Structure 1
Amino acid sequence: MNVPVEEIELSELSSNLTLLQSPVWATFKAGFGWDAHALRPTAGPWTGEAILVLVRRLAPGLTLAYVPYGPSCQCAPAELLAATLTDLGASLAAALPVTPVCVRFDLLWEAGSLEPPEQGGGASASLPGAAKPGRVRKAPLDVQPPSTVLIDLNHSPDELLAGMHKKNRYNIRLAERKGVMVRAAGSVELDRWYDLYRETALRDRITIHSLRYYRRLFELARDSIDLSLHLYLAEHDGDLLAGIIVAEFGDQATYLYGASSNDKRSLMPNYALQWTAILHARETGLATYDLFGVPPADDPAHPMHGLYRFKTGFGGRLVHRAGSWDVVTRPKRYGAYRCAEKARSFYFHRMSKAAVR
C-alpha cells in the first residue's frame, strides 16, 4: 500500500523524542556528507510523525537512505510489521530526489517480533508476514548499538549506588580516595580531550571522526534550547586521565564518546566520570541515563566483554532493540551493496579481536 508522505521543514522534526531524530541532529549530519530530509506520513500507522531521513551518496548511482531511531514506536501488530514497514520505506524512498538502494531503519523498538535467526542476517533474516520475501532484511551491520543499559534516575544517589555491582561501587569510591578529580569542562578544552581520544583509538583500534566533527556538535548544542552537551574530564595531580561527552536531550542523558589514558588506569577514572554524569543528569531532572552500547550477553569470549561488565555494573536495565533493518528498493544493486558491507563487517570483527590480543 502506498503511504502518502509530505516533505516538511527540518525545524518541524521532534524536539523531545530522541536526539537522532531532532532538528539539531539533522543540521549536524548535513555538515558531514549527508543530505537531511524531513518527511511526514499523512496516512497509515505513523500518520503525522515527522521522520528524519539521511541520504548519502556511496558511489555513482548508489545512495543509501538512513532513518536513525525512527519511526518512534511500533504502531502495528507484529504480524503486520513487515508490510507496514515496507510500505513506509517505499514511500519515503519515492519522496527522495534519488531512489536509494534501500531505506535503512535503525529501530528503537525493543527486540521480540523482529528477532532475526542470527545477528548479521542470512537469506532467511527477513520479517515474518512480508508481502514480498526478502523485501525487508536484517542489515549486515547495525549502525547504532542495538543493546544498551538504561538507568532509571528516579532514585536517590544512595539507591543508585545500592543498585550497582559491588565492584563499581568500590571503584567509584577508590577513585575518590586516590584523589581523582572530575569536573565539567567547556568546549574550549576539546583539544585536550581529542588528543586523549586519539590515544584511545590507537589502543583500541577504533575509527574516530576529526576534531571538527565534535567541535561542530558542541557549537550546535550551544545554540540549541533542546540539547545540552557536557564534557567531563577526570584528572589526577595535573594529569588528564579520561574524559567523556554526554548529551542531555528530552528526558534522557546519553553517554556518547569516551577517551582514556594508558597511564594511571588503576585509579579508576572512568567509574568516577560516569558517576558524575549520572548524578548531574539526575539533578537536572532527567528520567534515564543511557550508557549507549553493550554486547548482547555476558559472554567472556566476546571481544568487548569488559565493556559489558563495566556498563552493566552500574545497574539499570539491559535493553535489546531491534537494530537496523533494510527496506530494499533496488534489489540488484542492494545485493552487491550487502556483500560489500558483509566484507567490511568481517574486517572490523578481525580488527576488534586483534585489539583484545
Structure 2
Amino acid sequence: MEYFLQTEAWADFQRSLGRRVHQRSGRGWSFLAIEEKNPAGKVLYAPYGPVAESVAAFDDALAALVEVARSCHAVFVRIEPVTAGLDPATAADALKSRGLQPAPVNQQPELSWIVDVDRDFKEVLADMKPVNRNLYRNIHKKGVTFRSTQDPEDIRILLNFLHMTARRNGFKPQSDEYLTQVAESMMPAKAATLFVAELHGGPIAAALAYDSADTRTYAHAALDDTHRKLSAGIPLLVTLMADAREKGLKHVDLWGVAPADEPDHKWAGFSAFKKSFGGREIAYPGTWDLPVNKPRYAAYQAARKLREALRTVLRTTLKRIQRPTP
C-alpha cells in the first residue's frame, strides 16, 4: 500500500502551509519528511515513512534522514515505518536495536481498517452488513443522490456539517483554514475528492478522501442532523469505495480504529461503523524517535516526564480536595 502522507501531493500541501519539506530516495527506499517544532526544538517528521523494500533499504533511509536532520539542526527524527521491510512481529526490537525509542504519543493511528476493492464489487458488498448493502441499493428511492467533486469551493459543504457535528458531540474539528488549504492544494491535483450526498438537490452529508497510487483514505466525514434518520453516510461511503474501484485503486483505508479488546475506547463507536463495511485490520509499529542531538533530546524527555508527574500529583490532590467529607 502507498500512503498519501508520503506522496508528492502531500509534500505540495505542506509547502503551501509554509513548511519546509525534505524528500530523498535511493535504491529501494524513499521518504518525505517535514520540519516541525516541539518543546525540544526542531523535529524532522516522516509521517508513515520512510518507505523501504527491505531492512537494508530501511537502514539506508534512516541514515539519510539523520543526515538531513543534522543539516537542518533537528534535535531528533520522528518516523512511522509502516512500509519499511520490517517483520511486524519483531519491528519494535529491530527499531530499538537501531537506537530508536517509542515517541511519547503516536502521531498517526496504530490500527487501521482496510477494505480491499481490487475485486468484483459484488464481493465487496457481500462482506458488508446487510443494512449497508440495502441502503446503498435502495436509498435512491428516498430521493437521495450522490456526486463527487474536486472543486475547492465545495469544501464549504463539509465544513458546515463538521460544525454541526462538533456542536452536537462537543469535539473540536480541524480548522476551516486547514481543510480549505487541503482543498485548494490537493483537489486540483486530483489527490483529494469530496463526495456529497444530496436530497432533492440539497447536500445532507459529505466525506473527504485522499488518494495515492493504489489507496484511497477516508479522512473527514459529517452529515446534516436534520436528515440523520436517512443514514446517508453509509451509502455515501459505499459510493466512495465503488468510485475507488472504478479508478483502479486497490484499497480503501478507513483510517484509525480502536483495539477490539477495548470496548470503552473513545473510538469504539465509529470503529464499529467502519468494521460494518467488511475488511481487515492492519497494525503499524507506531511512532518512533531517533535522537540526533542526544543531550537536547534527553532534556526534552526529562522535562516531559516531570510535567506528567506534576499533572498526576495535581489530579490526585484535586480528587482528595473534592472528595466529600464523611
Matched, 1:105 2:90: no
Matched, 1:57 2:37: yes
Unaligned runs of 5+ in 1: 1-15, 42-46, 116-126, 347-357
Unaligned runs of 5+ in 2: 313-326
Where 2:91 maps in the other structure, the secondary structure is: coil
Pick closer, same or farther for the CA change 1:318–1:177 going to 2, 3 Å.
Answer: farther
Pick closer, same or farther for the CA change 1:209–1:54 going to 2, 3 Å.
Answer: same
Matched, 1:180 2:154: no
Structure 2 match to 1:90 = 66
Structure 1 match to 2:127 = 163
**Contact 1:58/1:64 (8 A) holds in 2:** yes
Structure 2 match to 1:352 = none
Deviation of 1:219 (Å) = 2.8
Structure 2 match to 1:195 = 160
Structure 2 match to 1:334 = 300
Structure 2 match to 1:291 = 254
Q: How does 1:205-224 map to 2 (within 5 A)?
A: 205-224=170-189
**Contact 1:174/1:267 (8 A) holds in 2:** no
Structure 2 match to 1:76 = 55
**AA at the equivalent of 1:168:** N
1:21-41 deviations in Å (ceiling 9; x for gaps): 222211211233532112346
Pick closer, same or farther for the CA change 1:37–1:279 going to 2, 3 Å.
Answer: same
**Contact 2:158/2:221 (8 A) holds in 1:** no
Aligned length: 304
Structure 2 match to 1:314 = 277
**AA at the equivalent of 2:44:** A
Counterpart CA distance in 2 for 1:93 and 1:67 is 11
Q: Which has the larger radius of gyration?
A: 2
Counterpart CA distance in 1 for 2:7 and 2:129 is 34
After TM superposition, the score normalised by the length of structure 1 is 0.74
**Contact 2:9/2:191 (8 A) holds in 1:** no
Counterpart CA distance in 2 for 1:235 and 1:181 is 5
Q: Give the number of the structure whose residues are more often helix, by fraction.
A: 2
**Contact 2:113/2:280 (8 A) holds in 1:** yes
After TM superposition, the score normalised by the length of structure 2 is 0.80
Matched, 1:228 2:184: no
Deviation of 1:68 (Å) = 1.1
Deviation of 1:129 (Å) = 7.4
**AA at the equivalent of 2:298:** K
Structure 2 match to 1:4 = none
**AA at the equivalent of 1:70:** G
Pick closer, same or farther for the CA change 1:231–1:216 going to 2, 3 Å.
Answer: same
Structure 2 match to 1:38 = 23
**Contact 1:252/1:289 (8 A) holds in 2:** yes
Deviation of 1:280 (Å) = 0.7
Counterpart CA distance in 2 for 1:200 and 1:340 is 36
Pick closer, same or farther for the CA change 1:327–1:184 going to 2, 3 Å.
Answer: same
**Contact 2:30/2:61 (8 A) holds in 1:** no
**Contact 1:103/1:326 (8 A) holds in 2:** yes
Where 1:322 maps in the other structure, the secondary structure is: coil
1:123-147 deviations in Å (ceiling 9; x for gaps): xxxx357458xx4111222212221
**Contact 2:52/2:61 (8 A) holds in 1:** no
Structure 2 match to 1:304 = 267
Structure 1 match to 2:110 = 146
- Mean Cα deviation higher: 166-175 or 243-252: 166-175
Counterpart CA distance in 2 for 1:341 and 1:197 is 33
Deviation of 1:298 (Å) = 5.6
Structure 2 match to 1:248 = 211
Counterpart CA distance in 2 for 1:209 and 1:151 is 25
